Amino acid sequence: MGAAYFYHLTQTPLEQTLPTLLEKCRGAGWRVAVRGTDAARLDWLDAKLWLAGDGSFLPHGRAGGPHDADQPILLTDQVEAPNGPACVMCIDGAQISKDEVTALDRVCILFDGNDEAALQAARVQWKALTDDGCTAQYWSQESGRWEKKAER
């Protein structure tokens, strides 16, 4: 049974935080789907990921290509992820269901803590998932480093 990890971004933007999390997932041997809500934003993130990381190659692709099933990291705006991910990372308010949380090793929900609408959407997701019985952790970087602030 998986868990939902909520990442409250206040010190670093998505394009800096996401590569670090993706590298950790890849280090665990997981395939990952990054689920967004807007194709143009995913295209922007795709370009950022080619320049990100610790200097090592972070293999990824945009959904819709002929090799989606082979991608270690797949950027998509769809629920279905043909790369068979162990982890789904939701950005920009992308939704995740209880069934997905329980079926995956991990779900990460990244949200911009400087955006009131994103903060409210994350609170709604937290309540929905925990009310449905999902295990969840809330991580904040308000002190400058990641700290677990809550767990249910």
* pLDDT mean over 13-41: 95
pLDDT tens digit string along 98-114? 999 999 999 999 999 99
pLDDT confidence of residue 52 = 67
Contact criterion met (CB below 8 Å) for 61 and 67: yes
The whole-number average pLDDT for the span 76-87 is 97
For the chain, domains (ranges, CATH) are 3-151 (3.40.50.10110)
Which carries the bigger pLDDT value, residue 121 or residue 53?
Answer: 121
Burial of 7 (0-12, 13-18, 19+ CB in 10 A): buried
Residue 75 has pLDDT above 70, yes or no: yes
Mean pLDDT of 58-78: 95
